[in-house]
Structure 1
Amino acid sequence: MTRVFHEQGILFGYRHPQSSATACILSLFQMTNETLNIWTHLLPFWFFVWRFVTALCVTDIQNDSYSWPLFVYMGTSCVYPLASSCAHTFSSMSKNARHICYFLDYGAVNLFSLGSAIAYSAYSIPDVMVCSTFHDYYVPLAVLNTIISTGLSCYSRLGFADGEAGSFAPGEALYQAGRNVVSSHRKSMVWGMALASQSQLSSCLFLLPGESAQNEAVLNHQKHMAMTLLASFFYSAHLPERLAPGRFDYIGHSHQLFHVCVILATHMQMEAILLDKALRKEWLLAHSRPLSFPQITGAILLCLIFSLSNIIYFSAALYRIPEPELHKKET
């Protein structure tokens, strides 16, 4: 099996690297090392959809502009678990299909980061920062962060694919070294950059809570950040399977634990944002400038256009990488 399909510390349970789409779907009901990776995001996807639809049904969305950022956030919280489930489901169709699946996964994660930033800007900004320069530029910077993060994440994976094909020329040693550094930190970078915009503001929530902040919401923000840090640790550390290769191939490996932590973090984050929205509504409407419809749609559209452009560009670049040459045995 080629290196692109192999995970550190996982010895068994791999699907065939040339699986058909039908075989990939059927693998949801077979025990492989990807089965729980799929279900730990597919089931929460339906839970978040249920919460999203329930909130929509009790809101006059056309006239309640105060709730618009919430629905953007809840919508993006449905997108990333679905994208992750699809990526894990269809990643065994081919090498290029695997890379493209995860390009889309990175884009969805970063879109969720932007949705979180929009909700934080609307409901969770500390009192002392409301209408400040930081507040004014928070969402635009989150859009920039999203675009750059998606591009760098895809670029690092392309570097991994390029290095596997052995297509670097001798004169590109410095360039190769730089790209390999990015690739080696790909796992931590994807979530680290995606969570940068929200973690900065979450830190402010603890340091500068303000008079209108509520203890219940702050506690949920703290739980969210703690769970996010734990998720990032599992995502990059390859524990526990690195310590006992083969023992956690099907149940209990780091990516499954990462998925569980991410979903719990999102749930806690959603509870915190809902509390902020409800408990701070009167104060925020009196003191802050709510995000307008053009601002919200503009941010989402810019993110979608540039992120999809990145994904299309790097997906096309995959097919320009030469296949690794087979070295003939000397006779």
Structure 2
Amino acid sequence: MATVVTEKLSRLFINVQQVPQLLAPLSPSTVSSSEVPKVFWKPYIHAGYRPVRQTWRYYFSTLFQQHNEAINVWTHLVAALILLLRFQQLSQRAKSEFWHYSFFFMDYVGVAIYQYGSALSHYYYTIEPSWHEKIKGFYMPMAVLLAWLSCAGSCYAKYRYHQSARLLSRLCQELPSGLAYVLDISPVVHRIFTAPPSERADPALLYHKCQVLFFLIGAFFFSHPYPEKWFPGKCHFFGQSHQIFHVCLVLCTLAQIEAVVLDYESRRQIYSALQGDLAHNFSALCLFTVTCCVLTAACMARKVRNTLGFKEE
């Protein structure tokens, strides 16, 4: 009974002027019971109308129209804005040094997973049979090890070293990541340099070249503080090297995705013959990598908590 009353009341509050926008002419003979999802539409369908699909612009415009949900929507939007402003105020005076470190550790876990994913996609879809024969015995285990070392080294550098030991910090972060990249990109580089003339026009190769170029440019800006060295004090908000690094890494990832998709579509016979039924093994390695990196980050976060607790005492 309550459901029936609610449906009848909802009809009373529908703006009559909106009905022609919501409905489109339909011959009653073409209406079937499967096309009537709600009781509300029955009288209009029998009158020769049916619901039509609306775009997001229509639903956005309903924020500024009179209907029975207008107040409800705006109370949620206003409340969300108030909460965001309140959180912004609290963030200025409720900072946690522990979470400062912890969020960095989570970022390093993500980087390690990205490294493993890149290694796997290049090994599975992009690799040439001749290179596969040379590295199949150690490539994936080394990819897992270097991904974990990249995470562990970055976490340790963040926890242990500061500005006074910048060289050691860079060494812990960049050496494992650099070695991981050399290994992960080797199938791509081998394919680029050994492709026969008939395959050099392959669009996938162009995208692979772009991803290598964008990564190398990004690595340069990650390791060297330009252009802020040229314009001291003027690049804090816009134009700093780390921002350029992020842009290059995004472009690298986009090019990599396009290249791998093209390889997936055009090289099925090659990678099916090479990899066989190994997908479950690679999935297990991925789970193992994620577990090791998460445990490492959690261990380092615990060390940070203990250190901060010791300082407070």
TM-score (norm 2): 0.63
Once the two structures are superposed, residues 187-231 of structure 1 have per-residue CA deviations (whole angstroms, 9 ceiling, x without a partner) of 644753453332223222223336996622122111101100111
- Structure 1 window deviating more from structure 2 (114-123 vs 276-285): it is 276-285
Return the alpha-carbon distance in structure 2 between the equivalents of residues 212 and 305 of structure 1.
43
The one-letter code sitting in structure 2 at the alignment partner of 1:128 is S
Gaps of at least 5 residues in structure 1 are 1-20, 28-88, 165-178, 326-331
Counterpart residue number, 1:272 = 259
Identity of aligned residues (%): 23
1:150 partnered with 2:151: yes
RMSD: 3.3
Distance 1:185 1:25, change over 3 A: farther
Counterpart residue number, 1:297 = 283
Distance 1:191 1:143, change over 3 A: closer
Please give the residue correspondences for 1:163-312 in structure 2 after superposition, counting only pairs within 5 Å. 181-185=167-171, 188-189=174-175, 191-209=177-195, 215-285=202-272, 287-290=273-276, 292-312=278-298
Distance 1:304 1:262, change over 3 A: same
Return the alpha-carbon distance in structure 2 between the equivalents of residues 180 and 250 of structure 1.
23
Return the alpha-carbon distance in structure 1 between the equivalents of residues 191 and 87 of structure 2.
43
The structure where helix makes up a greater share of residues is 2
Gaps of at least 5 residues in structure 2 are 1-82
Instruction: Measure how far apart 1:160 and its partner are.
Output: 1.8
Instruction: Measure how far apart 1:24 and its partner are.
Output: 10
Q: What's the secondary structure of 2:307's corresponding residue?
A: coil
Q: Is the 8 A contact 1:151 1:311 kept in 2?
A: yes
Instruction: Measure how far apart 1:118 and its partner are.
Output: 1.1
Distance 1:243 1:262, change over 3 A: same
Counterpart residue number, 2:103 = 101
Q: Is the 8 A contact 2:204 2:259 kept in 1?
A: yes
Return the alpha-carbon distance in structure 1 between the equivalents of residues 123 and 170 of structure 2.
33
Q: What's the secondary structure of 1:252's corresponding residue?
A: coil
Larger radius of gyration: 2
Distance 1:125 1:309, change over 3 A: same
Aligned counterpart in structure 2 of residue 110 of structure 1, from 109, 112, 118: 112
Return the alpha-carbon distance in structure 1 between the equivalents of residues 209 and 134 of structure 2.
25
Distance 1:191 1:254, change over 3 A: farther
Q: What's the secondary structure of 1:246's corresponding residue?
A: coil
Larger RCO, structures 1/2 (Cα 8 Å, 6+ apart): 1
Q: Is the 8 A contact 2:127 2:187 kept in 1?
A: yes
TM-score (norm 1): 0.60
Once the two structures are superposed, residues 67-114 of structure 1 have per-residue CA deviations (whole angstroms, 9 ceiling, x without a partner) of xxxxxxxxxxxxxxxxxxxxxx99x93333222111111110110110
Number of aligned residue pairs: 227
Q: Is the 8 A contact 2:161 2:168 kept in 1?
A: no
Return the alpha-carbon distance in structure 2 between the equivalents of residues 136 and 275 of structure 1.
26
Distance 1:25 1:184, change over 3 A: farther
Return the alpha-carbon distance in structure 1 between the equivalents of residues 126 and 197 of structure 2.
12
Return the alpha-carbon distance in structure 2 between the equivalents of residues 324 and 193 of structure 1.
36
Distance 1:274 1:105, change over 3 A: same
Once the two structures are superposed, residues 106-154 of structure 1 have per-residue CA deviations (whole angstroms, 9 ceiling, x without a partner) of 1101101101111111110113123x25124322211111111111111
Q: Is the 8 A contact 1:128 1:208 kept in 2?
A: no
Instruction: Measure how far apart 1:312 and its partner are.
Output: 0.8
- Structure 1 window deviating more from structure 2 (179-188 vs 150-159): it is 179-188
